[in-house]
Structure 1
Amino acid sequence: MAGVISIFDIPIITDLLAQYLTKQDCASCSLVSKAFYSQFQPHLWREISIRPVKAALVRQPSKEALLANKHLIRKLSIFDQPITGATQSTGTLAIPGQTTTTSALYEPHSRFAHHVTPPSFSCTKSALQMKQDDDDNVRSLLRLVEQNVRLQTLFIDLFGMLDTSNTWMRFFKVLERHPSLTSLYLHGQEFHHGVYRALFQSLPMTLEKLVIRTVIYNKVTPIHFSILPGRGFYRRLRSVHLRMCMKGSETSTLFPFLRLCPKLEELTVPLVDGSTMPRLIALVGDATLFPFLRGLYMSCQFQLQDTDLSRLVGVMKGRIKDYAMEGRCAQDSARQFCANLTTYWAGTLESLVFGADTVVSSSEIQTIATTCAGLKRLCIASRGGEYEADRMVVPEDNVSGWKAIFTVDNREQNTTLSTIAEMKAVATTRTTQWICLGLEELQLTILDDRWIAEEDDQGNDAENSNHSHSLEPSGSPHTTTSQQRRAKDGIRRVYQQLGQLTQLKTLTLSWYSSLHRREQPASVSAASTPSPSLPTRHKFDMSLESGLQYMDRLKELHELNVRGISCLNIGQKEFEWMTQNWPKLRR
């Protein structure tokens, strides 16, 4: 309730209730509200987000209440208004050194993402509103960071703002004197060599996590190894995430810095090209430099060689527990990589994430799920897409974030919903059992491609039609009872497979169907060849008759998400069944 109704809205709510309740009822409600507020006051004030819509923040008595409870604040965020006005209206906000549960800002696949994180402050470019002749907002930012000496997490976002070098330089001078900072998130448009030099020389020795999200400056000058502090200076850094694009000699800007971080546990490497990959592999694969490295996250936006990916898997054998790859690479490279992954990492891998642009076939995902026994998290991202020849093409304007998918990327393989549900495609066996029965989180998007098989079944009749490639909607005369029966059988087998994962805590289900074709433009004639089919949202059956009861052993399930579905077949008896069989379900 506290997450939906703001504490500043309580007077408004009371006024509304007073119109419909008697004085005696209002008095009772007032007593209950006071008791609730007294009991949960520390929790209500833990996170404060200052926005223009929170106009009550700058008025009495809300301002007095905020100042009186500022010692309870654990997380402060300022968005969409100048930081000077926000701090003037609320006074100097002290953020004590106590912890609160928040999520990671940039690494949703990180195994540290859901851990308890310290008090934090967030500030975006709109809060600074940089002007050449007025830097009051910058001074307010620096003053706030200086005064909150127990602040441990800091997020500064200047992305989209040009010419911010002077701002960063002034900020780094304050940063160097900060006594307790452990996590630093920097998001900027571009960093030239002077900014990097100032940053690496100013990082506090208490820092444990560094996230840089930026674009490398085109005329970057390499930082010489001699200007960086000694090896022990970064001895506490355990998490470094470099979300940026680097080509060729530009990597000499940051690679020397990485060599000075002996306790790294997780690393996100920049976007690199094929010529840089051998150096990168040699660096991260050196167990003497990074003996504790267990999490590796890669952004590969360029075509990589099969030998590079194979070598990466080989040198990290027995070390990697968490791996994530995003970006485009050749389908053959991804296929070979998955084969090597199941050979060398099957015994240690606990978390696996593939990005939406990484082409991975359903058979490869099935192989991973039936060979990596220690997997606790499996995420194969999808953005939806179109069929083109033998792969799925992702439209740039249809981004739906990180999701997992068991999908089909090759029409010639004729891999249907039934094949996906049966979990075949194992090299030497035809087992239908998951081997990673310890999975705790699974995000699964099924592409219902039954229309491929239906086209094959119709044979010459389809070829004689001017609309031989068009798809009839479900319920049309061409939709047979046999096809509907096959659909129910496929869904039932999916539930049977999921029912084996008795340790699941979070399950996300999405369903896309190719049985419906999007409408063609009016300019396209009836005899023209239509464009490839876009998987559309389709009715998803979660009834007990469809096989939902096969998931009755998921006693640890805390969260169930159903996404990307326009129509959900579920009723009251299914909700009652969930309550009885999933006792820990919270949302």
Structure 2
Amino acid sequence: MSTSSTTSIFDLPPVVDTICRYLRRRDYPKVSLVNTAFYHACKRYIWRKLVFQHTNDNEAITDEHQRTLCANALWIHELTVDKICTPLMCLTTSPTFCENLESLECDLEHESSPYAAALAMFVRRGIKISNLTLKTRDDDPQNNDEGRPLNIYGLTLLLPFLPPALKNISVKTAGRFGAMDLLLLLASLPASVERFTYHESFTQCRDLLDSSSFLRGLNLRWQAVYPNLKELEFSEFHQLNLASVLLPLLRKCPLLERLGLPIIPGHDLPSIAEVLRDSCPKLNALTIIGYLEEDELLPVIEALPRLASLDLPIDTPTLGVFVSRMRAKWSSTLTSLTFGAGAILESSDIQLLLTSCPRLVTFWMCPHGEGKRPWTISPHYSPLNLSDLAQSEWTCLGLEELCIIFHDERVEQDTLEQHLEQEQRTREWIRQAYTQLGKLKKLETLHLGWGRPFREGVDGDSLAIHKPGPLVLMDFSMASGLALLKDLESLRQLSLDNMARISVGTEELEWIHQMWPHARISGLDKSSTDWLQVQRFSVNI
């Protein structure tokens, strides 16, 4: 007599792996108890992302922890180590080491710490990571002297052994990265790197120092060429003028597509522009940071034949000539355009862009912070006259993200009759504005704001200069034409500034809830927000 055994579908590895792939991280420990197949499948996801943080002496890694770590090193794909060396030393002794490691995030310490040596030994062991993130802090009391290098020891140990397959390098610092550190890193990028990002959130402003003074005495061995570098981005860097470093670096990047410039003095921009024109023919995305005059920006415009994305988070007194030249060169290629809160644009300039750039997908006229109104960021915000919008026809009907601040064009009237006529005219413009916005059927993110013109010596919030009578804002009501936005079926985020404070009632809230049940709405008053939250909760139940 023969016996047969029945195999459960949950014992089949492909089925189990597919199930485990979509589980939440907190569910893996419980699901791993189902059977052996689930245990082995869950193990690779439990160990996929590992974080080691600095512990005190009472929480030291035991021998059992080390054996478990070595046994599961094969499954680690993302590793974060924060000022702790024992796990790194342990992993270097693992038979399988970290064969599947893709991303490493680590911090660099000052001077000759055991951690820096362990990190260098770990990298030297032959990891094949493609993503490296370097974090640094400025909490070492020895680092009070601004001229003192911060992380030279750890960095010099690490640089010779950067993996040859490395594609992405990021530097994240809540403090400041030493000038020599940054120069050493830029001069040592492996030929495989495709993206270098430097992000600094250190807010203490300093006068820019010339980077050439730091180059003296450093034996920097720059690569002959960086054939794969496509993205080079810097956040605002307050300490060092990197023009003298960027010039030789940009000459070695023939495939560069995206560039985020740090603060560069205006007199150095013509040199940067010349190198971009001659050495970076594929550049299509540009971010310029700083406080620049319009004529200082023009050399860059003249140097670049075409751009798809332009981001100007800068303060510039005027941008009229800049916009006219930019529109002539890039109107057929621009897909993303951002102007900072301090950029001064005439309504006609904004209108020129919206009516002559048919490929625009993202247009941010005034980036804003959470809970901030545009005129509190800078009194010279960029307004768009409501009448201009109402009387024009946009060509960029494929917009997916739009941030637009309307200008209050009304002026003080001598009589109540004149004032009421003006308010009626404003109501008609508002309805026509909603008609325009309703044509943007692909819109996913919409930020609407309503501002008042800046007047020297007058608080922007106190410009109630009108005679008594109904005060019409760019309100968010059915009567003003809210229903004209019914075709915005893709809308996922809606933000309102200085709007909908007096006009949103139950009818509008019911319409919003029905039309955009999954959208995030901000800017409504508390009672409206509470109403939406209650309704959505009831629907979910």
Report TM bin, short chain. Answer: 0.5 to 0.7
Aligned positions of 1:104-143 closer than 5 A: 119-123=102-106, 130=109, 135-143=113-121
Deviation, structure 1 residue 266: 1.5
Cα RMSD over matched residues?
5.1
Work out whether residues 67 and 90 of structure 1, in 8 Å CA contact, stay in contact via their aligned partners in 2: yes
Work out whether residues 42 and 72 of structure 1, in 8 Å CA contact, stay in contact via their aligned partners in 2: yes
One-letter amino acid of the counterpart of residue 276, structure 2? V
Deviation, structure 1 residue 513: 5.6
Please point out which of 444, 461, 469 is paired with 1:533.
461
Work out whether residues 222 and 252 of structure 1, in 8 Å CA contact, stay in contact via their aligned partners in 2: no
Deviation, structure 1 residue 227: 5.5
The CA distance in 2 between the partners of 1:86 and 1:512, in whole Å, is 55
Could you say which residue in structure 2 is the equivalent of 1:269? 261
Work out whether residues 211 and 245 of structure 2, in 8 Å CA contact, stay in contact via their aligned partners in 1: no
2:249 match: secondary structure: helix
Deviation, structure 1 residue 170: 3.6
Please point out which of 286, 290, 296 is paired with 2:280.
290
Check 1:62–1:191 CA distance in 2 against 1; reply closer, same or farther (3 A cut).
closer
Check 1:546–1:533 CA distance in 2 against 1; reply closer, same or farther (3 A cut).
closer
The CA distance in 1 between the partners of 2:47 and 2:428, in whole Å, is 51
Is 1:550 the counterpart of 2:518? The answer is no
Deviation, structure 1 residue 84: 3.9
Deviation, structure 1 residue 558: 6.2
Could you say which residue in structure 2 is the equivalent of 1:329? 316
Aligned positions of 1:154-193 closer than 5 A: 154-158=132-136, 160=138, 162=143, 165=149, 167-177=151-161, 178-187=163-172, 189-192=176-179
One-letter amino acid of the counterpart of residue 278, structure 1? P
One-letter amino acid of the counterpart of residue 496, structure 1? T
Is 1:560 the counterpart of 2:499? The answer is no
Could you say which residue in structure 2 is the equivalent of 1:199? 185
Is 1:444 the counterpart of 2:403? The answer is yes
Is 1:495 the counterpart of 2:496? The answer is no
Could you say which residue in structure 2 is the equivalent of 1:313? 301
The CA distance in 2 between the partners of 1:292 and 1:121, in whole Å, is 30
Could you say which residue in structure 1 is the equivalent of 2:513? 575
One-letter amino acid of the counterpart of residue 133, structure 2? F
Work out whether residues 239 and 267 of structure 1, in 8 Å CA contact, stay in contact via their aligned partners in 2: yes
One-letter amino acid of the counterpart of residue 313, structure 1? I
Deviations 1:349-369 (A, max 9, x none): 122122233233443222211
Deviation, structure 1 residue 58: 8.2
Check 1:280–1:560 CA distance in 2 against 1; reply closer, same or farther (3 A cut).
same
Aligned positions of 1:126-525 closer than 5 A: 130=109, 135-146=113-124, 149-158=127-136, 160=138, 162=143, 165=149, 167-177=151-161, 178-187=163-172, 189-192=176-179, 195=181, 198-213=184-199, 220-221=212-213, 223=215, 228-229=221-222, 231-232=224-225, 234-243=226-235, 245=237, 251-286=243-278, 289-302=279-292, 304-306=293-295, 308-317=296-305, 319-331=306-318, 334-383=319-368, 384=372, 392-393=378-379, 407=383, 415=385, 418-419=386-387, 421-422=389-390, 424=391, 432-439=392-399, 441-447=400-406, 450=408, 453=410, 456-457=412-413, 459=414, 491-504=430-443, 506-512=444-450
Work out whether residues 145 and 151 of structure 1, in 8 Å CA contact, stay in contact via their aligned partners in 2: no
Work out whether residues 46 and 75 of structure 1, in 8 Å CA contact, stay in contact via their aligned partners in 2: yes
Deviation, structure 1 residue 237: 1.0
The CA distance in 2 between the partners of 1:326 and 1:494, in whole Å, is 27
2:213 match: secondary structure: coil
Deviation, structure 1 residue 251: 2.4
The CA distance in 2 between the partners of 1:532 and 1:496, in whole Å, is 29
One-letter amino acid of the counterpart of residue 149, structure 2? S
Residue ranges of structure 2 left out of the alignment (5+ in a row): 1-19, 201-205, 465-471, 520-541
Residue ranges of structure 1 left out of the alignment (5+ in a row): 15-28, 99-118, 395-404, 409-414, 425-431, 462-479, 516-528, 582-587
One-letter amino acid of the counterpart of residue 439, structure 2? Q
Deviation, structure 1 residue 483: 8.6
Check 1:257–1:574 CA distance in 2 against 1; reply closer, same or farther (3 A cut).
closer
Could you say which residue in structure 2 is the equivalent of 1:19? none
Work out whether residues 309 and 335 of structure 2, in 8 Å CA contact, stay in contact via their aligned partners in 1: yes
The CA distance in 2 between the partners of 1:264 and 1:321, in whole Å, is 14
2:342 match: secondary structure: coil
Check 1:324–1:482 CA distance in 2 against 1; reply closer, same or farther (3 A cut).
same
Report how many residues are paired. 458
The CA distance in 2 between the partners of 1:371 and 1:63, in whole Å, is 63
1:533 match: secondary structure: helix
The CA distance in 1 between the partners of 2:63 and 2:158, in whole Å, is 33
Check 1:206–1:248 CA distance in 2 against 1; reply closer, same or farther (3 A cut).
closer
Deviations 1:101-140 (A, max 9, x none): xxxxxxxxxxxxxxxxxx433345xxx6x466x7133334
Is 1:83 the counterpart of 2:84? The answer is yes
The CA distance in 2 between the partners of 1:37 and 1:157, in whole Å, is 34
Could you say which residue in structure 2 is the equivalent of 1:112? none
Question: TM-score scaled by structure 1?
Answer: 0.62
Q: Alignment identity in percent?
A: 20
